Amino acid sequence: MKQIRVGVLGYGYWGPNLARNIAETDGLCLAAIADERADRRAAAARRHAGVAVADSAASTIDADRIDAVAIATPLSTHFPLARAAIEAGKHVLVEKPLAASRREAETLGELAAKQGVRLMVDHTFVYNGAVRRIRGIIDSGELGELLYLDSVRVNLGLFQTDSNVIWDLAAHDLAVMDYLVDERPVSVSANGSSMAGFAHENIAYITVHFANGFLGHFHVNWLAPVKIRQMLLGGRQRMLVYDDMDPREKVRVYDKGVDFSIQDYEARRQILVSYRTGDMYAPKHDRREALSLVTAEFASAIAERREPMTGAAAGIRVVSMLEAAEQSLRNEGRRITI
Amino acid sequence: MKQIRVGVLGYGYWGPNLARNIAETDGLCLAAIADERADRRAAAARRHAGVAVADSAASTIDADRIDAVAIATPLSTHFPLARAAIEAGKHVLVEKPLAASRREAETLGELAAKQGVRLMVDHTFVYNGAVRRIRGIIDSGELGELLYLDSVRVNLGLFQTDSNVIWDLAAHDLAVMDYLVDERPVSVSANGSSMAGFAHENIAYITVHFANGFLGHFHVNWLAPVKIRQMLLGGRQRMLVYDDMDPREKVRVYDKGVDFSIQDYEARRQILVSYRTGDMYAPKHDRREALSLVTAEFASAIAERREPMTGAAAGIRVVSMLEAAEQSLRNEGRRITI
Amino acid sequence: MKQIRVGVLGYGYWGPNLARNIAETDGLCLAAIADERADRRAAAARRHAGVAVADSAASTIDADRIDAVAIATPLSTHFPLARAAIEAGKHVLVEKPLAASRREAETLGELAAKQGVRLMVDHTFVYNGAVRRIRGIIDSGELGELLYLDSVRVNLGLFQTDSNVIWDLAAHDLAVMDYLVDERPVSVSANGSSMAGFAHENIAYITVHFANGFLGHFHVNWLAPVKIRQMLLGGRQRMLVYDDMDPREKVRVYDKGVDFSIQDYEARRQILVSYRTGDMYAPKHDRREALSLVTAEFASAIAERREPMTGAAAGIRVVSMLEAAEQSLRNEGRRITI
Amino acid sequence: MKQIRVGVLGYGYWGPNLARNIAETDGLCLAAIADERADRRAAAARRHAGVAVADSAASTIDADRIDAVAIATPLSTHFPLARAAIEAGKHVLVEKPLAASRREAETLGELAAKQGVRLMVDHTFVYNGAVRRIRGIIDSGELGELLYLDSVRVNLGLFQTDSNVIWDLAAHDLAVMDYLVDERPVSVSANGSSMAGFAHENIAYITVHFANGFLGHFHVNWLAPVKIRQMLLGGRQRMLVYDDMDPREKVRVYDKGVDFSIQDYEARRQILVSYRTGDMYAPKHDRREALSLVTAEFASAIAERREPMTGAAAGIRVVSMLEAAEQSLRNEGRRITI
């Protein structure tokens, strides 16, 4: 198999992870790293001897010896860099979210289709072993009809200088919901605030409404004292908890959903007193680094000339929800139709 | 001290707890229990030999030998029973929420003032040792300016046949916020759904907005696979987590709030990687049953002819928020001014 | 069914629990409570109106209207009180351990057989829902051959003035092992120490050896900063963890035991890196108070004129292990044959 | 500073970690990797382009361009390889334990002194941020007189084909105790078993006795269903728990030790009921990879011509305890004087 030569654009927080995984993925070859900052270029050179290191993303994109680029630069630059790469005939892997607006995301999708190159968005959590295991559990039908998804992703940190907590953190969880739930949302509400004197919202609550009554809710927060990454997924037959911080049992499936047979008030009250009802099981799952599966999927999609699992369509859907959430945030939480 | 003779109205889920605590409270004497159901009356008679058991709340209210009543009946009956008791000159302790509407709650408050009797609402969690410890921590100033309160109270159960999850579960957490936060809210938004074919909402998300930017958010859910009762309270200097399900450390105080001194992007990213920053401490707190402090406060307020800590005013404030939340729920999450 | 009239001897820590459960057990009637201390008698009278309260165990034992006694006095008095009761023709329930020596325990067993009365020891944890569930799991064969039982029961506290931590805490866990494991031990080793100037050992480690290679180990400690009650039970096919402090999942069954098929060193190393391998499930179990099942078993055994589940034989076996452990402790940890 | 050129001997489980950290340590240069297995050599070559890879440890030791070796081969080969390296005038870092017997360890120590080279043992956990923080807490005096150390290190895995669980796992914890506790032990007892048909003990309990009454106890187990790494350290004033599996709070300090002032039996019973007493705090600590500090210490000790923190003396002390534990295991748990 011909090696795909990949250039990594941006070597800040996520770039080093992309570079490392690209270097170790069969079918990919880490060929170049570009970053404007000298200290980051020095770090890249130390860790990846033999890889070309440049200060310009543009020249890396244009280099003939580059077949593809992986973009890990600030959100506002996703669009211009991805467009330039696609127009230069290069395959593109973009850090989430795909772009800063639905219009940008759609434009990239159309351009890639026209140019016949692969456009993939790095929705990392979709490749996480626990999340893929949950998709398998949903597919088995054991949860029954899905009722709601409740997600909490909070930690202490102030990271994006050019966007708010929704675009940074909720992008992960909306991508996960997009992957797990086949129905498509109809509207989005959001409330939030930019606290402690910051320019962008650092705490937000997003509600995603579906035509069939399914409800998605997302709490994202940069001002939390502890790191919580927890998801509840309620089904009529069974429900599950996905706690990404639990070193032992990330996924727990509870065998009681909503029991219609309990009519008696006292009996139902008894359930309240319990911490849980019914048996629980915690399936094992693939514990490989999710990003290694992202880069492997990028390699396969290019080699097989097919859409990647998280291609332009998924990227556009997630950006659409993010855009609607931000619009709701600017309109006192009103529902914004997608 | 003269013993206050108390009649308990309703012996379903909460009534037995009230009766037991009243019986063991200095200054109170459990004198009567009323319930329409024969099986509950039998249970009451078995556990409280020597206490009059009746099938009629009305006759218990009117009985001369009764000085006060504790109401633990369905929400819709709080108002008529409390009104009758107040008009009969009896002191009244009502299970939360005080009444089914702001108007009812205010009417009860006015009546009690006119009659010169004590009206108290059983906001149990306000008397919880951990919650009182948190109030002490706030008062010490160590948290700095309060930024937000995020509360999750979920479990599996279907309980109220005459109201939804907001009136049942959120009443607890709104009462806690009312106790902890001195500022008063200006508006409320809520989203939710009645899933799996039930008549009332069984999952809801409430956002409470304050003039000074403080934000309260409440997730209440009867369809969750596990019982979670967790609260985050963010301050500018320190933040705390209150996990009511943790048998060891219910309250944890983290000594990093928002640090403005970290300017470097990489350094801030480092924080993201950490599970937490700074030291943490978990103060010990009073572990006595909260309800025993509720009944003790009821006894003291009567003896000292003073307002109880959770009197009509607190009850009205909480009912106002509940009413606004329900109204928002009926209006696609629009903000309802209180 | 004739009511068995029970007198409770000792109203300190455990006596109130026994009295409360006896009062609520069908077939039993709480008829008398005896304690030397006036403050405890007052507490007993307040909680159990209508029950005779006495300062003398002897007169309670002899009272004609008493059919049975429940003994919750210090260990050194178990033997004389139980003997007196048996000789007076009364059924006897004794707080664990049955007696202060094997000889005493055997004497009580023989006396009870001769007198035709029931002698039962309150091995409370044997009646715990989680422990009974574990017995069911063992019986189902799913664990395969049992390999070892490792138990930790530690907390902060100094309780017995007349005995050490082995007789106080290890009695619980040895009773559980006696219930779960059908094989009988052959010898016991123990190491421990009386720290911080106390008269009796407050930390001890006990190893119980079996002929078939099964190993039991018990860590008991009154000087631990946290309360831990955890048991590992290893089988060839599956293993389980019983954490009595976990409010959600007390019993967890892991589906990997010892896998003989993994020959490769690297593959086995991989397992080390994992937090666990294989699926896990957490079965639900009876959450009723264990002591209510103890008193119910006492009532049934008397009514049906049969041996109780934890009768003299179980009591003697546990006391034998305790005695051997203490002997080993006095002999530098040498193995003492039972 | 002149770069120390290091050859890594053994590229199985621990060798890759050593190689990676050596490559990133200032003052060290990864110059060679030796392993008998071709697949491991291939892995080494892929990850460390430019580093000489050999199939013979002997030739690597003898190579002139090598200044030091890091040994990560099976225990039985530690002695011959370390001896050959020392005799060739090379500095030596040995994976724990230093050697397979006290005699071997002492011989290596003497040889290194004679040759004037640095001999260091990789007691990794001694360099762990949490463990170093605990040492700081001990030094501050806040724990008061130390009473006991109780350590549990269990997981599922079968790793050493040439030694038992004591030499593999207990080596870690004995090294930690050796680092934390200044007193020296006088004797060791051990019980254990080789279960499920294995040649070496896979479960063991070790008790280490000190002249001043301090007690150390170690549970090591390759047959446990879950990974537990927990240590209790009891002091007269305060006690601490070190849970290496806890992602949030690895070290918790409890402010109640043994309180001599509580005389009343009932009051002490109350403590039993609590999960804990007193406040707790969880100090933050250095979260850097411990092995990076091991290799940094190796570099510094060589550069400064001084004893490393975990030099021959610490290595000999730990091997002495391991040897005594094994001897006790072969003698029914008898105490073996060190």
Instruction: Write out pLDDT tens, residues D142-197.
Output: 999 999 999 999 987 655 567 899 999 999 999 999 999 999 999 999 999 988 77
Q: What pLDDT is recorded for position C303?
A: 96
Please report, for the domain that includes residue C97, its CATH number: 3.40.50.720
Binary contact (D278, B287; C-beta < 8 A) = no
Domain membership flag for residue B316? no
Binary contact (C262, D213; C-beta < 8 A) = no
Q: What pLDDT is recorded for position A195?
A: 83
Q: What pLDDT is recorded for position D273?
A: 42
User: Are A204 and A274 in a shared domain?
Assistant: yes
Q: Residue A114 is part of which domain span?
A: 4-125+290-309
Domain membership flag for residue A314? no
Binary contact (A247, D248; C-beta < 8 A) = no
Cβ neighbours of D227 in A, within 8 Å: 248
Give the residues across from B152 on adjacent strands.
B219, B230
Instruction: Write out pLDDT tens, residues C121-136.
Output: 999 999 999 999 999 9
User: Are B149 and B280 in a shared domain?
Assistant: yes
- Burial class of residue D28, CB neighbours in 10 A (0-12, 13-18, 19+): buried
Binary contact (C258, D158; C-beta < 8 A) = yes
Binary contact (B189, A191; C-beta < 8 A) = yes
pLDDT band at A275 (very low <50, low <70, confident <90, very high): very low
C-beta separation of C192 from C205 below 8 A: yes
Which of C248, C279, C280 is nearest residue A276 as measured by Cβ atoms?
C248
Q: What pLDDT is recorded for position B289?
A: 94
Binary contact (B245, C247; C-beta < 8 A) = yes
Binary contact (A245, D247; C-beta < 8 A) = yes
Domain membership flag for residue B26? yes
User: Are C89 and C136 in a shared domain?
Assistant: no
User: Are C302 and C281 in a shared domain?
Assistant: no
Domain membership flag for residue D39? yes
Question: Residue C159 contacts by C-beta under 8 Å, 6 or more apart in sequence?
Answer: C13, C168, C222, D265, D268, D269, D272
Which of B249, B275, B287 is nearest residue D274 as measured by Cβ atoms?
B287
In the predicted model, is pLDDT for residue C44 greater than 50? yes
- Burial class of residue B85, CB neighbours in 10 A (0-12, 13-18, 19+): buried
Tell me the nearest-neighbour CA distance from D245 into chain A, angstroms. 8
Q: What pLDDT is recorded for position C2?
A: 76
Which of B226, B227, B239 is nearest residue A225 as measured by Cβ atoms?
B239
Cβ neighbours of C209 in D, within 8 Å: 191
Q: What pLDDT is recorded for position C272?
A: 47
Binary contact (C217, D191; C-beta < 8 A) = yes
Binary contact (D226, A247; C-beta < 8 A) = no
Instruction: Write out pLDDT tens, residues A91-141.
Output: 999 999 999 999 999 999 999 999 999 999 999 999 999 999 999 999 999
User: Are B146 and B161 in a shared domain?
Assistant: yes
Whole-angstrom distance, CA of residue B145 vs CA of residue C93: 59
- Average pLDDT score, chain B: 91
Give the residues across from D28 on adjacent strands.
D4
Cβ neighbours of B278 in D, within 8 Å: 284
Q: What pLDDT is recorded for position D114?
A: 97
Sheet holding C52-54, edge to edge: C52-54, C28-34, C4-9, C68-71, C91-95, C119-122
Instruction: Write out pLDDT tens, residues D83-122.
Output: 999 999 999 999 999 999 999 999 999 999 999 999 999 9
- Average pLDDT score, chain A: 91
Cβ neighbours of C155 in B, within 8 Å: none
Among A224-228, C157-161, D25-29, which range has the highest average pLDDT? D25-29
Domain membership flag for residue B187? yes
Q: What pLDDT is recorded for position B255?
A: 84
CB pairs under 8 A between A and D: 10
- The residue in chain B having the minimum alpha-carbon distance to the alpha carbon of residue A147 is B195
Q: What pLDDT is recorded for position C237?
A: 87
Q: What pLDDT is recorded for position D199?
A: 78
Please compute the mean of the pLDDT values over residues B232-261 and round it to a whole number: 84
Please compute the mean of the pLDDT values over residues B88-112 and round it to a whole number: 98
Least confident stretch, A80-84, B155-159, C82-86: B155-159
- The residue in chain C having the minimum alpha-carbon distance to the alpha carbon of residue A287 is C274
Helix (H, G, I), strand (E, B) or coil at D203: strand
User: Are B148 and B178 in a shared domain?
Assistant: yes
The count of C-alpha atoms lying within 13 angstroms of the C-alpha of B64, restricted to the half-sphere facing its C-beta, is 0
User: Are C178 and C327 in a shared domain?
Assistant: yes
User: Are A116 and A252 in a shared domain?
Assistant: no
Q: What pLDDT is recorded for position B308?
A: 97
Please report, for the domain that includes residue B212, its CATH number: 3.30.360.10
- The residue in chain C having the minimum alpha-carbon distance to the alpha carbon of residue B246 is C247
Sheet holding D91-95, edge to edge: D52-54, D28-34, D4-9, D68-71, D91-95, D119-122
Domain membership flag for residue C280? yes
Q: What pLDDT is recorded for position B16?
A: 95
Instruction: Write out pLDDT tens, residues A19-58.
Output: 999 998 999 999 999 999 999 999 898 788 779 999 999 9
User: Is the CB of residue D207 less than 8 Å away from at least one CB of chain C?
Assistant: yes
- When divided into structural domains, chain D yields a total of 2
User: Is the CB of residue C278 less than 8 Å away from at least one CB of chain A?
Assistant: yes
User: Are D120 and D145 in a shared domain?
Assistant: no
User: Is the CB of residue A259 less than 8 Å away from at least one CB of chain C?
Assistant: no
User: Are D52 and D82 in a shared domain?
Assistant: yes
Whole-angstrom distance, CA of residue C61 vs CA of residue C73: 14
Cβ neighbours of C240 in A, within 8 Å: none
Q: What pLDDT is recorded for position A226?
A: 85
Question: Residue C294 contacts by C-beta under 8 Å, 6 or more apart in sequence?
Answer: C21, C93, C122, C124, C127, C310
- Average pLDDT score, chain C: 91
User: Is the CB of residue D41 less than 8 Å away from at least one CB of chain C?
Assistant: no
CB proximity under 8 Å: A 127-166 to B: 147-148, 150, 152, 154-159, 161
Q: What pLDDT is recorded for position B50?
A: 78
User: Are A167 and A156 in a shared domain?
Assistant: yes
User: Is the CB of residue C248 less than 8 Å away from at least one CB of chain B?
Assistant: yes
Whole-angstrom distance, CA of residue D280 vs CA of residue C225: 10
Tokens describing residue B255: 């000594």
**pTM for the complete prediction?**
0.89
Nearest to A175 by CA among A96, A112, A289: A96
Tell me the nearest-neighbour CA distance from A188 into chain D, angstroms. 34
Cβ neighbours of A224 in D, within 8 Å: none
CB pairs under 8 A between B and D: 32
Please compute the mean of the pLDDT values over residues D314-338 and round it to a whole number: 97
Least confident stretch, A64-68, B319-323, D221-225: D221-225
DSSP result, B116-159: T--EEEE-GGGG-HHHHHHHHHHHHTTT-SEEEEEEEEEEE---
- Average pLDDT score, chain D: 91
Domain membership flag for residue B130? yes
Interface probe for C, chosen from D73, D187, D195 (most Cβ of C below 10 Å), is D195
Tell me the nearest-neighbour CA distance from D328 into chain B, angstroms. 38
Q: What pLDDT is recorded for position A200?
A: 86
- The residue in chain B having the minimum alpha-carbon distance to the alpha carbon of residue D270 is B287
User: Is the CB of residue C21 less than 8 Å away from at least one CB of chain D?
Assistant: no
Domain membership flag for residue C110? yes
User: Are C202 and C235 in a shared domain?
Assistant: yes
Nearest to B177 by CA among B142, B151, B152, B139: B151
Tell me the nearest-neighbour CA distance from D247 into chain B, angstroms. 7
Binary contact (C159, D225; C-beta < 8 A) = no
In the predicted model, is pLDDT for residue A227 greater than 60? yes
In the predicted model, is pLDDT for residue B267 greater than 80? no
φ/ψ of residue C325, rounded to 5: -60, -45
Q: What pLDDT is recorded for position A267?
A: 54
Percentage of chain D modeled with pLDDT above 70: 92
Binary contact (B279, D282; C-beta < 8 A) = yes
